[in-house]
Structure 1
Amino acid sequence: MVHARRTVSGRSSRTGSRDRHGRGIRASVTGPRLPLLHTRANIFEATVAATAEYLKDLWPAELADVRVEIAAVPSSESGSRRIRRWLVVPRERRIILYRLPIERLARLHRNDDLHRRMMVESCVFRAVAELLGKDPWDLAPERFRHF
């Protein structure tokens, strides 16, 4: 059975915006004066993107066609009991970073924003170094920090 949609002034009543009972469109949860919420996933993605761009600027020829992707967890296809933090696929010039293992298996001596960011950066450095067959220290000696 097909239901007809009611339209109000030429617009469908089931649009993405909400104007319930003439009260206006809903505002964001944080309100107009507070900053938007930043989730761990958003911060992780921003850190990976910034680090990958930094390395692509340093090594433009070697990393021009490399794709850096983010996944939540590795697939359970590998028979190893070791949990991967990243996967490098050289044939496809692709790096997949696994967010949850990187975040949750980190043994940081200080668990704050700076040290978590440094941990993510070091994983990106190590994954890119694995792809290029180099030592992570050779990519950017003044920036790489190993945790």
Structure 2
Amino acid sequence: MDSPVPSRPPAPRPRHRDRHGRGMRGPIAPPQVPLSVSRADAFTDLVYDSRDRLERRWPQLAQVDFLVLEVPGFGPDGDPDPLADDEAVPLGRVLPATGPHRDRIVIYRRPVEIRAKGRDERALLVHEVVVEQVADLLGLAPESVDPRYGQE
């Protein structure tokens, strides 16, 4: 008697992306939009863009550290934020130079994002908050720091 020859399983068919005959899918995002930029990175870029705009007019800002934190409550060093007990949620604050730290300006990402309805409004609000904090640090009016403050 012949022993049955085990049959091989059929070779798997290659998977095609066009299961329904629609062709290959298009790009996930337009070519000018990097996919790796998170909302937090985009926000940080807005803060640094505002700093760069102001630094051209105020070169002393090169000696100031700009930080982005998610929410107020704890300072960048882990110390409790003295403004955390206020009723209003701050959008940013100035930390004067102490010990090994230079002057620092902190911008709080989530409170700013919540107050802005769109991307353009967020960029404008970020710039206004940065201008206000720089003005506080330099002891000037925001209009002196950026003549277009409040006009846009």
Instruction: Identify whether the pair has TM-score above 0.5, normalized to the shorter chain.
Output: yes
Who is 2:22 aligned against?
A: none
Residue of structure 2 in register with 1:47 after alignment: 46
Question: Partners of 1:81 and 1:102 in 2: how far apart?
Answer: 16
Whether 2:106 is the aligned partner of 1:101: answer no
Task: Write out aligned runs for 1:101-120 (5 A).
Answer: 101-104=111-114, 106=115, 111-120=117-126
Gaps of 5+ in 1: 1-29
1:10-89 equivalent positions in 2, closer than 5 A: 34=31, 35-37=33-35, 38-60=37-59, 62-75=60-73, 77=80, 78-89=84-95
**How high is the TM-score relative to the length of structure 2?**
0.64
What is the RMSD of the two structures over their aligned residues, measured on CA atoms?
A: 2.4
Deviates more, 1:30-39 or 1:73-82: 30-39
1:126 and 2:136 are equivalent in the alignment: no
Quote the sequence identity (%).
29
- Distance in 2 between the 1:118 and 1:33 partners? 24
Matched residues, number: 112
Is the 2:89–2:111 Cα contact (8 Å) retained in structure 1? yes
Runs (4+) of structure 1 exceeding 3 A deviation are: 30-35
Is the 8 Å Cα contact of residues 88 and 131 (structure 1) preserved in structure 2? yes
The gaps in structure 2 that reach 5 residues or longer are 1-26, 75-79
